[in-house]
Structure 1
Amino acid sequence: MKNTDAPIVVEEIYMTTLENVWKAITELDQMKKWFFEQIKSFEAKEGFETQFVVEIENRKFTHLWKIEEVIPNQKIKYNWRYKEYEGDSFVTFELFENESNVKLRLITEIIHSFQSNVPEFTRESCVGGWEYFVKSSLKEYLMPEK
C-alpha cells in the first residue's frame, strides 16, 4: 500500500441500531469477538493509544493504534501502524443511521507507504481484510443467523 494509492473504502449495512454498531466498534469486549481477540485495551477517546501483537506465519505485527478523532455514534478515526514495519495510515469508521438500518463506511488512507515486500501490505490484502471484517465478521456478530 502506497501513499499515492486511492483510499480503500468498504461499506456495509446492518439491520440493527446505531448504538449496537457503535458499541461493537468501540467497546473492548465486543471488539475482541469480531475484530482482534488480541486487543489488550481500548477506549474511544481522542489521544488513547494501545498496542497488541498479531502473529502470521512466524511474522510479528505489533499493531500501534492512536485514536485521532471521536464523534460518539458517528465517527472514530485511528492512526494505524506497525512497530516492525515502515508505513503509516489512518483508519476511519463512519456511521450513518437510516430508518431501519445503519450504514458503516470504513476508510483506510495511507499516509506513508508500507513495505511492498510484505504480503499483508498489498492493496488486495488490505481490501480483502477490511471486506472480511466489515462484510462478514462484524455483520455476523451484529446479526447472527436465527
Structure 2
Amino acid sequence: MNDCFEIELVYNACVIQVWQTLTNAELMKIWYFPQIKHFDLKVGNAFRFADDGSTYKKNWRITRLENDRLMAHSWGYQDYPGYSEVTFELFGQGNMTVLRLTHTGLSSFPQDLHFAYQRFELGWNMILDHNLRQCLEDQT
C-alpha cells in the first residue's frame, strides 16, 4: 500500500475565504463530514463526532496550525491500529488559492478494504474537488 496521498487543487477564492471554510465547524459539516459535532481550532484539541452507528469511529486531533496557511490533524480510528496525519496547506495566487492536501501514514492501517489506498484517493477527490469546491461556490 502507498503510504502517502497528495493532491493539489486550485479554487476560485482568496486564501482567507478558503481558510475560513476549512476551519469553520458549521461549514466543515457541509464539505468535510456532517457528523462533526464540535471543532475548536487549537493544537491538541480533539474533533468530536456524532455517533452515526459506524464501526469506524474517527479519532482525530489538531496537530499543527499556521493561521491562514496550514492546518494538520491526526486521522485514526478508535479500536483500530494505525495513525496517519492530514495536512491542508494554502498558497495564494491573487484571487485564487492552491490547496495542497497531504495524507501520510496510510500504510499503518490494517489490510482491510475500509483502509485501502484507493478508498482514500476516491474520498479525498470527492471531499476536495466536489464538496469543498461546491461549498466555496455557494458562498459567492
**Do the two structures share a fold, i.e. TM-score over 0.5?**
yes
Aligned partners of 1:14 and 1:101 also within 8 Å: yes
- Matches of 1:111 and 1:59 in 2, distance apart? 20
- What secondary structure, in the 3-state scheme, does the structure 2 residue paired with 1:141 have? helix
Q: What does 1:107-146 correspond to in 2, within 5 Å?
A: 107-110=102-105, 113-117=108-112, 119-144=113-138
Structure 1 position 105 matched with structure 2 position 117: no
Q: CA deviation at 1:72?
A: 0.6
Structure 2: state its 5+ residue gaps: none
Partner SS state of residue 143, structure 1: helix
Cα shift at 1:50: 2.2
Inter-partner Cα distance in structure 2 for 1:124 and 1:53: 26
* Alignment coverage as a number of residue pairs: 140
Q: State percent identity of aligned pairs.
A: 28
Quote the Cα distance in structure 1 between the aligned partners of 2:116 and 2:94.
Answer: 37
Letter in 1 for 2:129: K
Q: In angstroms, what is the RMSD of aligned CA positions?
A: 2.0
Distance 2:71 2:104 in 1: 14
Q: What residue in structure 2 maps to residue 38 of structure 1?
A: 35
Return the structure number with greater strand share.
1
Any runs of at least 4 consecutive aligned residues in structure 1 with deviations exceeding 3 A, and if so which? none
Shift in CA distance, 99/134, structure 1 to aligned 2, threshold 3 Å: same
1:80 lines up with 2:100 in the alignment: no
Equivalent residue in structure 2 for 1:93, among 88, 94, 98: 88
Alpha-carbon distance between aligned partners in 2 of 1:111 and 1:61, rounded to the nearest angstrom = 15
TM-score, normalised with respect to structure 2? 0.90
Give, in whole Å, the separation in 2 of the partners of 1:35 and 1:20. 16
For the Cα contact (< 8 Å) 2:70–2:90, is it kept in 1?
yes
